[in-house]
Amino acid sequence: PIDPMSVTFQPATGGMNPSGPVLSRRMSDLEGLFADTAAWQEARDGADPVVYEVASSPVPEAPGELPQSITTIHPGTVGGEFHMTKGHQHPNPQGEIYFGLSGTGGLLLFDGTTPKWIPMAPGVIGYIPPGWAHRSVNTGDEPYRFLAVYPGDAGHDYGWVLEHGMGWRVRRGAAEPQLVPFRSEPV
C-alpha cells in the first residue's frame, strides 16, 4: 500500500496533481470502433485528432488499492457516431464508479445480452456493476469529463468489446442522442 494522499483535480485541463501516467487516444488508436470505416479513415488520415485523454492519480493498479482517473472526451462525431472511449470489460469482475465533472455524455453498459444507457452530466454518479463492459460517449458540443474509481486488480480487457460489441451505437440525433443496434450499417 502507499501513503494516504490528496489529489487535486484541475478543472481547466482535466489533469491531476500529483499525477500518474496520462494517456492520449487519437483517431488512429481507435481502429474497428466506429461503424463508418470510411469516415474513420478520413479522420485518421487527416488531422488524426485526439479523441480522448485519461489522466491517472499516482495510486497504483494493485490489489486492495482504489486507483482514480479522469477521462476527457473531446466533442465530435465519426459518420454521425459520437466520439467515445474504446470500452472494456474487467477480466476480474468488479464494480466501478464514475462521477460526472463537466459536459454532457453517457455511460453505455453491456453484459453480452442487454445494453443499458446512463445519461451523464456534472454531479451524476454512474455505477458499473461487476460483469458489465463499459464505454463512455460525449453527446454534447463541449468536452465531456468524468472521474472513475475502480479496484486496482480489476484489469482491462479491450478484446471483449471488439468481439462482442456494446449492444448499441450512439449517434447524433435531431435533438436527443439516438441509440441504434450495434450491428446496423452506417446511415
Number of residues binding to Ni ion, judged by CB under 5 A: 1
Strand ranges of the sheet holding 81-82, from the earlier edge strand across to the other edge: 77-78, 81-82, 168-171, 178-181
Q: Residues 79-98 vs Ni ion: string with x where CB under 5 A?
A: -----------------x--
**To the nearest whole angstrom, how small is the minimum distance from the Cβ of residue 38 to ligand PA5?**
23
77 lies in the binding site for ligand PA5 (CB under 6 A):
no
**To the nearest whole angstrom, how small is the minimum distance from the Cβ of residue 146 to ligand PA5?**
7
CA gap 76, 42 in Å, rounded:
14
**To the nearest whole angstrom, how small is the minimum distance from the Cβ of residue 25 to Ni ion?**
15
**DSSP one-letter string for 112-181:** SS-EEEEEE-TTPEEEE-TT-EEEEEE-SSS-EEEEEE--TT---BSHHHHHH--SEEEE--SSSPEEEE
Closer Cβ to Ni ion, 36 or 96, answer by number:
96
148 lies in the binding site for ligand PA5 (CB under 6 A):
yes
Closer Cβ to ligand PA5, 50 or 54, answer by number:
54
Q: Which of 49, 182, 74 has the alpha carbon at shortest distance from 137?
A: 74
145 lies in the binding site for ligand PA5 (CB under 6 A):
no
**To the nearest whole angstrom, how small is the minimum distance from the Cβ of residue 75 to Ni ion?**
22
**To the nearest whole angstrom, how small is the minimum distance from the Cβ of residue 101 to Ni ion?**
17
What does the block give as the cell for 13?
Answer: 485541463
Task: List b or e across 32-43, with b for residues whose CB sees 16 or more CB atoms inside 10 angstroms.
Answer: ebbbbeebbeeb
Number of residues binding to ligand PA5, judged by CB under 6 A: 13
Please report, as ranges, the residues that interact with ligand PA5 according to CB under 6 A.
54, 69, 71, 85-88, 96, 134, 136, 148, 150, 156
Please report, as ranges, the residues that interact with Ni ion according to CB under 5 A.
96
